[in-house]
Amino acid sequence: MKTQVCIIGGGPSGLLLSQLLHLKGIDTVLLERQSREYVLSRIRAGVLEHGFAELMREAQCGERMDREGEIHEGVFIAHERGMDRIDLHKHTGGSSVIVYGQTELTRDLYDARAKMKGNVIHNVEDVKLCDLTAASPYVTYRDGDKVIRVDCDYIVGADGFHGVSRKAIPKDILREYERLYPFGWLGVLSQTRPVSPELIYAKHERGFALCSLRSQVLSRYYIQVPLTDTVEDWSDDAFWTELKKRLPADVAARLVTGLSIEKSIAPLRSFVAEPMSYGRLYLAGDAAHIVPPTGARGLNSAASDIYYLYHAMLDHYQKGDDGGLKGYSQKALARVWKAQRFSCWMTTMLHRFPANIPYDDKLQDTELQYLLSSQVAQQSMAENYVGLPF
């Protein structure tokens, strides 16, 4: 098989790039390890920034997002003394975020790829990246006992944190920066009316909690849990009881509980791999960087990678200009690190850290009090939350 760009990974990053390039007449083959149903069963991001939404529209995939997604102009921060609202709209001169689930967005991208007869191959096994520094690299994968070879000009590694692409960069070139947090998020999706029209990020001495949503009839809630906990440790009742304890009394009183339709635990991690390119391989999204979900930056950081890579590839194929491809890693990393800074800041400010000494707790509380008392600090938070420019 021969193509111009071989994309590994059929999550939002890979699908979006494949769709954008296809619309400009650039041929792609996309290889995904799982089935479409499996990819669509993963419940992940809920908050999209403006730049991501714009890319979805450019990819001709924005119609349902614009119809069903909710525009949010603020977020709440709950704490022991009550609840405050950060006015995203006011502090950013009119910007906002869109609440639209990653599952739905991925479904829209798969549908668009299918409609355009995009070459998306599922259930591939043993993906191997070869000759990355040669003029014509190739990828092999296994389909049953057949080994298939895909020759291409470029390979894009969009295969998430556990993928194979990043590992194809030699160890003496790749540098990895990582911080693990001593807790995870237990998430519950339930067919109930959300407790609040806007997201509530709650700091509490029992641990962090988040009230989010997918629609007016579908709620998404999270609580901070120790890494040693498993989903089996948490019945629905135990989850709702704990969530209520971490919310202001009036919010807890109006929380509608119900059966969970999904329940999972995600560990929190900050991670960056540098460089994000090697020879003719370019990494994008979670394959190159992970943030803890507190700042809702993960998918949005993937979007800026795709934006830079898409334009760099257009410059190459349409103008013969390789400047964008050469500068991709540096440009992408500059924005990636700003998302790291913001996510780490929000995580540190709002979670309970079991090993904190009393001084740390005082400082943490002061950080939040400063934010809530300073218009300038709120402006900075709002600027980052709605997304820094690409």
* Strand-pair partners of 60: none
Name the DSSP letter for residue 169.
Answer: S
Question: Residue written as tokens 């609040």?
Answer: 196
Region near ligand PHB per CB under 6 A, out of 39-47, 150-158, 271-279, 352-360? 39-47
> By CB under 6 A, what part of segment 46-65 binds ligand PHB?
46-47
Q: Could you tell which of ligand PHB, ligand RFL, none binds residue 10, using a CB distance below 5 to 8 A set by kind?
A: ligand RFL
At closest approach, how far in Å is the CB of 27 from ligand RFL? Answer: 19
Site for ligand PHB contains 212 (CB under 6 A): yes
Query: Interface with ligand RFL includes 45 (CB under 6 A)?
Result: yes
Among 160, 194, 324, 387, binds ligand RFL (CB under 6 A): 160
Query: Which of ligand PHB, ligand RFL, none does residue 108 bind (CB under 5 to 8 Å by kind)?
Result: none
Closest approach of Cβ 73 to ligand PHB, in Å? 15
Q: Are 93 and 381 in contact (CB under 8 A)?
A: no
Token pair, residue 23, equals 């619309």
- Applying the rule CB under 6 A, the residues between 310 and 369 that interact with ligand RFL are none
Give Rg (Cα) of the chain: 21
- Contact call for residue 220 and ligand PHB (CB under 6 A): yes
Among 294, 340, 378, 384, binds ligand PHB (CB under 6 A): 294
At 357, phi and psi to the nearest 5?
Answer: -90, 160
Tokens representing 8? 């590994």
Q: Binding marks (x or -) toward ligand RFL, 90..119, rule CB under 6 A?
A: ------------x-----------------
Query: Which residue reads 């906990």 in tokens?
Result: 229
- 270 binding ligand PHB? (CB under 6 A): no
Q: Which segment (78-86, 231-239, 293-301, 360-368) binds ligand PHB by CB under 6 A?
A: 293-301
Distance CA 285, CA 304 (A): 9
- Cα atoms found within 13 Å of the Cα of residue 170, Cβ hemisphere only: 7
**Shortest separation between residue 31's beta carbon and ligand RFL, angstroms:** 5
Which residues ranging from 255 to 314 are in contact with ligand RFL (CB under 6 A)? 266, 285-286, 293, 296-300, 302
Contacts of residue 270, Cβ cutoff 8 Å, sequence gap at least 6: 177, 178, 179, 181, 290, 291, 292, 340, 343, 344
Binding mask 172-191 for ligand RFL (x = CB under 6 A): -------------x-x----
Cβ pair 348, 301 in contact under 8 A: no
Cβ 282 vs Cβ 295: under 8 Å:
no
Quick note: the x/- pattern for ligand RFL over 208-247, rule CB under 6 A, is: ----------------------------------------
163 binds ligand RFL (CB under 6 A): yes
Strand order in the sheet with 154-157: 119-121, 28-31, 5-8, 154-157, 281-283, 277-278
Query: Would you put residue 296 in left (φ > 0), alpha (ψ -120 to 50) or beta?
Result: left
The DSSP code sequence of 78-90 is: EETTEEEEEEHHH
- What one-character-per-residue DSSP string does 118-137 give? -EEE-S-EEEEEE-TTSSS-
What single letter denotes the amino acid at residue 268? Answer: L
39 binds ligand RFL per the rule CB under 6 A: yes
Does residue 32 touch ligand RFL according to CB under 6 A? yes
Give the three-class secondary structure for 189.
Answer: strand
Q: How far is the CB of 229 from ligand RFL (least distance, A)?
A: 15
Which residues lie near ligand PHB (CB under 6 A)? 45-47, 199, 212, 220, 293-294, 296
Which residues lie near ligand RFL (CB under 6 A)? 8-14, 31-34, 39, 44-47, 102, 124, 127, 158-160, 162-164, 185, 187, 266, 285-286, 293, 296-300, 302
